[in-house]
Amino acid sequence: MARHRVPIAPQSVDARGDDRVVEVVDETVGFRYFDARDLLGFVDGTANPVGAYVVVQKYLQDMARWNSLSTEKQASVIGRTKLTNEELDDVTATAQPKAHKTLTTIVNEQTGEEHDILRDNMPFGWPGTDQFGTYFIGYSRRLWVVEKMLERMFVEVPPGMHDRILDYSAALTGTTFFAPSASFLTSLNMGD
């Protein structure tokens, strides 16, 4: 893999007077697919708020295995209809397994308030290599919401509630960043 030394931003070099750089360790070129759909054919990010924590994850999808499912089965895995993007009724509290939408919907048990995240999927692929997937970027004001979503997807909490989308997708990378507000960055007085 080629290594690049890239300035973080012209403002950071000018304000700090040095040559701060980042090292590119993974470069994924994504593309818009139809009307904001991922390569599985579903729309993501239909209820987007604003946030300060950024989670990025790179998934490879087993497209042959996914495409072998009926459209109805795919919809039950995701929790939405494929063509019209309508939410399907949540399964009963005791039914297993749960849909992706159900597992990633985080509700405050005391208040009943739903905590949404801003989602932006970017499909990617390299024809001829059979590598296709989704580069997921999510934003949330509350870190615990992202952590709870990941726990419910990957750790099977509560037991038996694994995210069936992971039967067709493999997480390759993932990390979480804190994105400070513009007012916070201004308060640092980096130019003084």
Say what the pLDDT of residue 166 is: 92
Residues 6+ apart with CB under 8 A from 56: 135, 136, 137, 138, 173, 174, 175, 176, 177
Band (36; pLDDT cuts 50, 70, 90)? low
Q: Average per-residue pLDDT in the chain?
A: 78
- Residues 47, 119: Cα–Cα separation, whole Å: 8
Q: For 38-67, what is the mean pLDDT?
A: 77
Model pTM score: 0.68
State percent of the chain over pLDDT 70. 73
Q: For 25-44, what is the mean pLDDT?
A: 72
Place of tokens 């039950």: 76
Q: Judge whether residue 12 has pLDDT over 50.
A: no
Band (10; pLDDT cuts 50, 70, 90)? very low
Say what the pLDDT of residue 45 is: 55
**82 or 39, higher pLDDT:** 82
Domains of the chain: 29-187 (3.30.70.1030)
Per-residue pLDDT of 61-97, as tens digits, reads 999 999 999 999 999 999 999 999 898 876 555 556 7
Say what the pLDDT of residue 75 is: 93
Say what the pLDDT of residue 21 is: 57
Say what the pLDDT of residue 49 is: 43
Q: Which of 70-74, 89-93, 166-170, 181-185 has the lowest mean pLDDT?
A: 89-93
**44 or 55, higher pLDDT:** 55
Per-residue pLDDT of 95-136, as tens digits, reads 567 788 888 888 888 999 998 888 888 888 887 888 899 999
The residues carrying an active-site annotation are 44
Say what the pLDDT of residue 22 is: 58
